[in-house]
Structure formats: structure tokens, C-alpha cells
């Protein structure tokens, strides 16, 4: 993956579009360079401020993807974006954004609130900055504040009805004196028949992880749906930062000196006498001296086995670490391969266009006259032009 620099970041932000592939590709690159989170967020903020109104929602979708997918790797982006989003939503609230952009931004805030991406105070501040009325001359531009309050009130009412229904169900079970086994069976059967609301939530979550077609993506965008850019609980977490090739090679070379490759110790363990591992042979001891000698052998064998088992455990952990590094490295190479294939296809198309221009140019040149074969004016090869009098005689 290319080294980080501000010019490269600006180029990626300039090429950013509303497609899921574009957003996820840039997000993966930013997460890989998370140590530059402060610079990334500052450049992202400056580019968002200067972007056209139609592209501001795309920048917010990118921030959402980076914030949610980088949570398991560290708090860098969450902290840096958190310090800027207050100003961002204040800037967005001061604009006359279209209805689609406003729905998308409010949906984004609801996702952050439901998943506790930011604390309640921050979410409240973001909503206030986004949906606060703004004066345009003598006219106040309305926002979706009333709509948001109605939705919030509706959620509270639905939650209250659900809790009341559960409480009545528990009271009813207690009144009939049913056994715990029957209660557990009812709960198991009840889990198979979810209410329509929970089924709708599951359907929406499954739609978020299904492959998106251009038609479905346009339809979801028109409805302000952010589920295709939000992290679903069923979706796989992104791979960790890939190791450097030198680091991976060094880790594999260290396994050459692992415990399983120590033939000398394994030979010593194989040559231990049977008396140190078989309790039934203790009856063959004849005197105290033989017992003490066997005791020394047992202690020596035990010490050697404990040390070797410790090395084997360390080798097992090292091999697991190498397996994780290989997994991350392979996943990273697959991402690079996909990007390279996309770039190759793009340049092949450009090559085809250039070839077409070349062929047209050759055909055009063949139709042009050869100036070198024309008679020379200086040598008198051409007849003089008629005068004005000759034209009218």
C-alpha cells in the first residue's frame, strides 16, 4: 500500500464518489494509516468544507465507515473525528441542503446513537447543530426537528408497550403456576415467532449485508438508508494491519529453531528409562540407594520435560501469531490485487481509446494531400491568378 502523504490523501478524496466500493477502498487505506489520524481528519475537514453541497454527504459516509471499522484497532479516529464533528454539523446545519442529504445525515446520527459510537451528549450536540433553524432574511428555514421528536417519541412508546407485554406475560405465568421447564420451552418456542417489528429490523440488517446492485443502491440512497455503509453485527471485521515482509520472514525463520526442531532434547526424552514413567516398576527397588538414584533421575527428567513443554507452548503461540500475520498479509494482498485489477481495467479502457484515436488520425493523415508533390510556386510551376479585369471580360 502506498506511503501516506497529504497530496495522495487529497487525490483520493477528490476521486471519492457515492459508491460503496469507492468509500470502502478509501476507508481501508485510511485505517491502514491510522497513525496519521490527526492529519487525515484535518485534511478531511478542510476538503469537506470546500466541497460542493452534493458531495458533503459522501464525506460523512466515509467518516462513518472509518469510525466504525477502526474501533477494534484503537481510539485514534474516534477521538480525532469527535473533536471535529461538532464544527462539521454546525457547518452542515448552516447550509440549505436538499431533503435527501438531511435524511441521510439524521439517519447517520440515529445509527451512531443506537450503536453508542459517541456518547449521548455528543449526539445531542450534533443533532442540535444540524437541525437548528437558520435565518434567511426574514424567513426561518424549517428542519426535521419535529420529525425527529415524533420518531423518538414513537420509539419510546413502542419500547414501553413491549416492556408492559413482557411484564404481563410473566405475571400470567406465575398465576398459572407453570413449571420452569414449561417456561423455558415457551421461551424457546417464542424465540421462533418474533414480532413484526423485530422481523423488520432483521430484514433491514440482512439487506445491509447483501450485495448491492446499482438499482438497489440508488433506491436506498433516495430513502436516506445508511445500512450499506454501517457495520453490521453479522459482517466480518476488517483484517488487522498487515505485517511488513521483513517482519513476516523473520517470524518464519525463528520457527526453524522451535522446540519441535530440537532433535537432541527429543532424543534425551526418548532415551529416559522406563522406571521414571512407570509406577509399577517401583516394586523392583531393592534398597535405599537405588531409590535415591531413581529419585534423582525422576527429578532430572521432570525438569527437562517441564522446560521442553514450556518451549512447546511458546512455539504454539508463535505459530498462532505467524498464522495471524499470514492471514492479515494475504487479506492485504487480496485487497491490493483487487485495486490493481481495477486500475488495470481502467488503463486498458484508456489504452483502447488512445488506439482508436491513433487509427482515426492515421486515416485522416492518409486523406490529406502530399504538399511535397505540389508544383513549386517559386519555380513558376503554377499559372498566375487572373486579375479582376479578366474575371469580368
Of residues 50 and 147, more confidently modeled? 50
pLDDT of residue 172: 57
How distant is the alpha carbon of residue 78 from its chain centre? 14
* C-alpha span between 392 and 341 (Å, rounded): 72
* Residue 296 contacts residue 215 (beta carbons within 8 Å): no
Average pLDDT over the chain, rounded to an integer: 77
Contact indicator for 53, 101 with CB cutoff of 8 Å: yes
Partners of residue 141 on adjacent β-strands: 134
DSSP 226: -
Which is higher by pLDDT, 10 or 142? 10
CA pair distance 142, 78, nearest whole angstrom: 31
- Least confident window among 6-15, 43-52, 276-285, 315-324: 276-285
Check residue 173 and give its pLDDT. Answer: 57
d(CA 273, CA 293): 12
What's residue 148's pLDDT?
A: 57
Mean pLDDT, residues 324-342:
85
Are 88 and 41 within 8 A, CB to CB?
A: no
The share of the chain scoring above pLDDT 90, in percent, equals 24
Residues paired with residue 139 on neighbouring β-strands, in sequence order: 136
When comparing pLDDT for 86 and 4, which is higher?
86
Q: What is residue 74's predicted lDDT score, i.e. its pLDDT?
A: 84
- DSSP characters for 252-306? HHHGGGSGGG-HHHHHHHHTS-GGGT-GGGGGG--SHHHHHHHHHHHHHHHHHHH
If phi over 0 gives left and psi between -120 and 50 gives alpha, with beta otherwise, what is residue 177?
A: left
- In angstroms, the CA 320 to CA 322 distance is 5
Question: pTM (2 decimals)?
Answer: 0.39
The pLDDT of residue 265 is 86
User: Would you list the DSSP string of 161-215?
Assistant: HHHHHHHHHHHHHHHHT--HHHHHHHHHHHHTS--HHHHHHHHHHHHHHSPPPHH
Half-sphere exposure of residue 122: CA atoms within 13 angstroms, side-chain side: 17
Residues pairing with 140 in the sheet: 135
pLDDT for position 67: 92
| Residues 173-227 pLDDT 10s | 555 554 445 454 445 444 444 454 544 444 444 444 444 444 444 344 444 444 4
The per-residue pLDDT for range 260-298, each reduced to its tens digit, is 888 888 888 888 888 888 888 888 888 888 888 888 888
pLDDT at residue 43 greater than cutoff 60: yes
Residue 374, Cβ density class (10 Å: 0-12 exposed, 13-18 middle, ≥19 buried): exposed
Q: Does residue 27 register a pLDDT over 60?
A: yes
The predicted pLDDT at position 163 comes to: 74
Looking at residue 242, what is its pLDDT?
76
Say whether pLDDT at 233 is over 80.
no
Sequence-ordered strand ranges (E) for the chain: 134-136, 139-141
* pLDDT exceeds 70 at position 61: yes
Which pLDDT does position 80 carry in this prediction? 92
pLDDT at 353: 92
- The pLDDT of residue 221 is 46
pLDDT confidence of residue 110: 92
Tell me the CA distances in angstroms from 222 to 80, 141, 143, 168, 218, one per residue in order. Answer: 30, 22, 18, 41, 6
The pLDDT assigned to 223 comes to 45
Pick from 136-145, 249-258, 303-312: least confident:
136-145
Separation of alpha carbons 88 and 56, rounded Å: 10
pLDDT range class, residue 379, cuts 50, 70, 90: low
Across 205-214, 269-278, 342-351, 355-364, least confident range: 205-214
User: Which of 144, 127, 42 shows the shortest CA–CA distance to 90?
Assistant: 127
State the average pLDDT over residues 67-76. Answer: 86
Amino acid at each position: 500500500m502506498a506511503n501516506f502523504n497529504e497530496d495522495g490523501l487529497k487525490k483520493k478524496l477528490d476521486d471519492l464518489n457515492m459508491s460503496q466500493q469507492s468509500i470502502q477502498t478509501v476507508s481501508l487505506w485510511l485505517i491502514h494509516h491510522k497513525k496519521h489520524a490527526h492529519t487525515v481528519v484535518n485534511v478531511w475537514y478542510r476538503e469537506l468544507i470546500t466541497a460542493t453541497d452534493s458531495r458533503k454527504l459522501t464525506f460523512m459516509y466515509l467518516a462513518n465507515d472509518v469510525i466504525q471499522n477502526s474501533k477494534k484497532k484503537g481510539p485514534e479516529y474516534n477521538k480525532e473525528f469527535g473533536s471535529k464533528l461538532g464544527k462539521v454539523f454546525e457547518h452542515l446545519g448552516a447550509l440549505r441542503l436538499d431533503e435527501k442529504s438531511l435524511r441521510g445525515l439524521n439517519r447517520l446520527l440515529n445509527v451512531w446513537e443506537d450503536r453508542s459510537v459517541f456518547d449521548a451528549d455528543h449526539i445531542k450536540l450534533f443533532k442540535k447543530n444540524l437541525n437548528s433553524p437558520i435565518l434567511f432574511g426574514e424567513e426561518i428555514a424549517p428542519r426535521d426537528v419535529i420529525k425527529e421528536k415524533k420518531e423518538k417519541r414513537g420509539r419510546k412508546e413502542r419500547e414501553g408497550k413491549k416492556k408492559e407485554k413482557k411484564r404481563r406475560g410473566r405475571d400470567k405465568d406465575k398465576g398459572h403456576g407453570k413449571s420452569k421447564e414449561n417456561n423455558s420451552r415457551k421461551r424457546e418456542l417464542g424465540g421462533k415467532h418474533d414480532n413484526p417489528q423485530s422481523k423488520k429490523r432483521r430484514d433491514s440488517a440482512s439487506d445491509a449485508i447483501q450485495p448491492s446492485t446499482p438499482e438497489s443502491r440508488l433506491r436506498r440512497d433516495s430513502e436516506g438508508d445508511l445500512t450499506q455503509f454501517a457495520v453490521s453485527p453479522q459482517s466480518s471485521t476488517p483484517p488487522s494491519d498487515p505485517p511488513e515482509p521483513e517482519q513476516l520472514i523473520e517470524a518464519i525463520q525463528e520457527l526453524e529453531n522451535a522446540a519441535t526442531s530440537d532433535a537432541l532434547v527429543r532424543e534425551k526424552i526418548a532415551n529416559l528409562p522406563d522406571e521414571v514413567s512407570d509406577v509399577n516398576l517401583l516394586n523392583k527397588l531393592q534398597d535405599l540407594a537405588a531409590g535415591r538414584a531413581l529419585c534423582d533421575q525422576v527429578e532430572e527428567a521432570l525438569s527437562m520435560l517441564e522446560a521442553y513443554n514450556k518451549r512447546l507452548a511458546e512455539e504454539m503461540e508463535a505459530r498462532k501469531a505467524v498464522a495471524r500475520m499470514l492471514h492479515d498479509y494475504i487479506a492485504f494482498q487480496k485487497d491490493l490485487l483487487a485495486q490493481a485489477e481495477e486500475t488495470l481495467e481502467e488503463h486498458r479502457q484508456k489504452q483502447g481509446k488512445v488506439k482508436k484515436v491513433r487509427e482515426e488520425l492515421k486515416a485522416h493523415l492518409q486523406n490529406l494531400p502530399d504538399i511535397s508533390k505540389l508544383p513549386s510556386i517559386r519555380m513558376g510551376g503554377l499559372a498566375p491568378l487572373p486579375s479582376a479585369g479578366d474575371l469580368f471580360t
